[in-house]
C-alpha cells in the first residue's frame, strides 16, 4: 500500500502557496478579477524571501502565515520558527488560514486553468502512481481534498488514487486508519513525505516511511534525520519503488 504526501512530494506549488498566503486578508472575489500571474508579480520581494525561508519549516497551511511577519526573515532554526509561531494570536492565525482557504477556493474556481498550471509534477511521480494504480494508493496531505483531486485530474492521475485525506495535521493516525481500512498491518504501508517530522511519526507505526529528499527541508531536519536514522528517498529511486 502506497501513501503519499502531496505538496513537496507529488507536486510543487511554491508560488501558489505564496499567493494564498500573501493575499489571505484580501477579498477573494476582487482578487479573482486579476490574472494570478499579476497577483504573483505584485508580491514584494521581502515577502517572497521570508516565504521561501518559512516554506522549508512548514507542515500545514497555518505555518505559511508566519511569512507575513517581518520577523520571519531572522528564522534560522526550528526553535526560531516555533518561537515566532507562538507569538501569533490563535484567533488571528485562524482568520488568516480561513482567508487563505477562501482565496485558494475562488482562484481554483474562477481562474481554473491558471491555478492548475501552478502545480508542477515532480519527475517520476506520474509513472509511480500509474504503476501502483489499483493497489489502494492514497494521499494524506495538509492541502484541501478538492484541490488535490482537481490537480490530479489536470494531470490525468485521478484514477490512480483511491482516497485523499486532506487538511491533515496528524498523518500518523491517518496512515494507521487507511491501513486498517484495507485490513493491512502498518508494515504493509510505504509512506513518503518531505517533512521529516511526518516521516518519523509514521515510521513509529511500523510503516516503511521514506523522507523525500526532493521536497522542502532545513539543516535542522537533516540533523534530526541523521540522528534518528531516517531513510531518505531520492527522485531517481522512484523508478524502482514498489509498494
Are residues 83 and 7 located together in one domain of the fold? no
Domain end position, chosen among 67, 88, 117: 117
Are residues 33 and 60 located together in one domain of the fold? yes
Mean pLDDT of the chain: 96
Enter the pTM of the model: 0.94
Long-range pairs of 234-243 with CB within 8 A, sequence gap ≥ 24: 235/122, 235/123, 235/124, 236/124, 238/124, 238/125, 238/127, 238/128, 239/124, 239/127, 241/128, 241/190, 242/131, 243/1, 243/2, 243/132, 243/135, 243/189, 243/190, 243/208
Domain end position, chosen among 68, 83, 117: 117
Are residues 126 and 225 located together in one domain of the fold? yes
Domain end position, chosen among 80, 100, 117: 117
Distance CA 35, CA 131 (A): 36
Are residues 103 and 140 located together in one domain of the fold? no
Q: Are strands 208-212 and 190-193 parallel, antiparallel or unpaired?
A: parallel
Q: What is the pLDDT of residues 191-232, one digit of tens each?
A: 999 999 999 999 999 999 999 999 999 999 999 999 999 999
Q: What is the pLDDT of residues 58-114, one digit of tens each?
A: 999 999 999 999 999 999 999 999 999 999 999 999 999 999 999 999 999 999 999
Are residues 147 and 110 located together in one domain of the fold? no
Range of 97's domain?
13-117
Amino acid at each position: 500500500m502506497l501513501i503519499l504526501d502531496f505538496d513537496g512530494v507529488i507536486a510543487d506549488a511554491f508560488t501558489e502557496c505564496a499567493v494564498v498566503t500573501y493575499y489571505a486578508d484580501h477579498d477573494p472575489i476582487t482578487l479573482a478579477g486579476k490574472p494570478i500571474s499579476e497577483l504573483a508579480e505584485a508580491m514584494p520581494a521581502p515577502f517572497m524571501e521570508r516565504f521561501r525561508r518559512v516554506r522549508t519549516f512548514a507542515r500545514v497551511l497555518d505555518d505559511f502565515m508566519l511569512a507575513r511577519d517581518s520577523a520571519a526573515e531572522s528564522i534560522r532554526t526550528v526553535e526560531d520558527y516555533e518561537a515566532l509561531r507562538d507569538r501569533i494570536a490563535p484567533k488571528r492565525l485562524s482568520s488568516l488560514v480561513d482567508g487563505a482557504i477562501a482565496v485558494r477556493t475562488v482562484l481554483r474556481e474562477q481562474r481554473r486553468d491558471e491555478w492548475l498550471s501552478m502545480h508542477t509534477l515532480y519527475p517520476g511521480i506520474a509513472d509511480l502512481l500509474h504503476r501502483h494504480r489499483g493497489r489502494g494508493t492514497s494521499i494524506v496531505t495538509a492541502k484541501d481534498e478538492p484541490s488535490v483531486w482537481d490537480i490530479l485530474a489536470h494531470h490525468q492521475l485521478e484514477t490512480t488514487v483511491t482516497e485523499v485525506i486532506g487538511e491533515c495535521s496528524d498523518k500518523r493516525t491517518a496512515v494507521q486508519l487507511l491501513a486498517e481500512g484495507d485490513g493491512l498491518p502498518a508494515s504493509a504501508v510505504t509512506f513518503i513525505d518531505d517533512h521529516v517530522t511526518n516521516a518519523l511519526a509514521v515510521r513509529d507505526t511500523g510503516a516503511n516511511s521514506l523522507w523525500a529528499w526532493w521536497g522542502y527541508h532545513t539543516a535542522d531536519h537533516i540533523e534530526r534525520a541523521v540522528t534518528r536514522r531516517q531513510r531518505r528517498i531520492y527522485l531517481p529511486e522512484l523508478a524502482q519503488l514498489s509498494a
